[in-house]
Amino acid sequence: MSTDTPPRRSRFRWIPLRSGRSKVIAGLTALAVPFAAMVGLATPAAAATSATATYTKKSDWGSGFEGQWTVKNTGTTALSSWTIEWDYPAGTRVNSAWDATVTNSGNRWTAKNLGWNGNIAPGASLSFGFNGSGPGAPSGCKLNGASCDGSTVPGDNPPSAPGTPTTSDVTNTSVKLSWSAATDDKGVKNYDVLRNGAKIATVTGTTYTNTG
């Protein structure tokens, strides 16, 4: 009678998670060593909340003017802070401002929220004003690094799911996981590898060898 013990099969399957990004869970049974490993996408860095910034010249008295910027949250999550950048031509400048901290480096101007008005709920808006001088109009506006008109918001699309994982180099105590790369409009930074729900590694490539 043969005493050989037949090897157990390795099993892998996808489980969709409703978290705004796809994750893959791989369950493996190798001989007498059971373990579960999960490979998930790391959150894209600096994903921007959808928002717009609009400029209005409230009044003009010849030697100066009152300007106003309005930030509107057009997304579905709260905006926790905001920074507006714009250019004025030479001879036009901000002299004083309220409800924002306004600074400049040459002709590039930057306005940042104060401690009490950085949070903007979805659908809400907030304005700040300033007195300036000169005839020029603002240009090159950026809101939190994206276009002020909301047309180009980096990182607003969720990444695709990685490819179905496969195994190789299976031993009594280890297995190599491989998957095809995910894609994202801002690029995929890395993948988190979790074992029984706890992260055990972060990898930039598309393979990982789990041991133990």
SS3 for the chain is: CCCCCCCCCCCCECCCCCCCCCEEEEEEEECCEEEEEEEEECCCCCCCCCEEEEEEEEEECCCCEEEEEEEEECCCCCECCCEEEEECCCCCEEEEEECCEEEEECCEEEEECCCCCCCECCCCEEEEEEEEECCCCCEEEEECCEECCCCCCCCCCCCCCCCCCEEECCCCCEEEEECCCCCCCCCCCCEEEEECCEEEEEECCCEEEEEC
Q: Rounded distance, CA 109 to CA 199, Å?
A: 42
8, 35 Cβ separation under 8 angstroms = no
Determine the residue type at 4.
D
Q: What is the pLDDT of residue 66?
A: 97
The CATH T-level fold of domain 23-45+157-211 is Immunoglobulin-like (2.60.40)
Q: What is the pLDDT of residue 3?
A: 52
Q: What is the pLDDT of residue 27?
A: 37
Q: Name the region of 46 (left: φ>0; alpha: ψ -120 to 50; beta: rest).
A: left
176, 165 Cβ separation under 8 angstroms = no
Instruction: Give, for all 212 residues of the chain, the pLDDT tens digit.
Output: 445 555 454 444 444 333 333 333 333 333 333 334 444 444 433 334 589 999 999 999 999 999 999 999 998 889 999 999 999 999 999 999 999 999 999 999 999 999 999 999 999 999 999 999 999 999 999 999 888 987 644 445 677 888 888 889 999 999 999 988 888 766 777 888 877 878 888 888 889 998 88
Residue 68 has, within 13 A of its CA and on its CB side, a CA count of 10
Q: What is the pLDDT of residue 185?
A: 65
Please provide the CATH number assigned to the domain covering 51-147. Answer: 2.60.40.290
Q: What is the pLDDT of residue 29?
A: 34
Q: What is the pLDDT of residue 67?
A: 96
Q: What is the pLDDT of residue 159?
A: 77
Q: What is the pLDDT of residue 49?
A: 55
Kindly report the backbone phi and psi dihedral angles of residue 149, in degrees, each rounded to the nearest multiple of 5, phi listed first.
-85, 0
Q: What is the pLDDT of residue 63?
A: 93
Start-to-end CA distance of the chain, whole Å, equals 32
Q: What is the pLDDT of residue 147?
A: 87
The ranges assigned to domains in the chain are 23-45+157-211, 51-147
Q: Rounded distance, CA 167 to CA 179, Å?
A: 9
Q: What is the pLDDT of residue 4?
A: 55
Residue with tokens 């801002």: 186
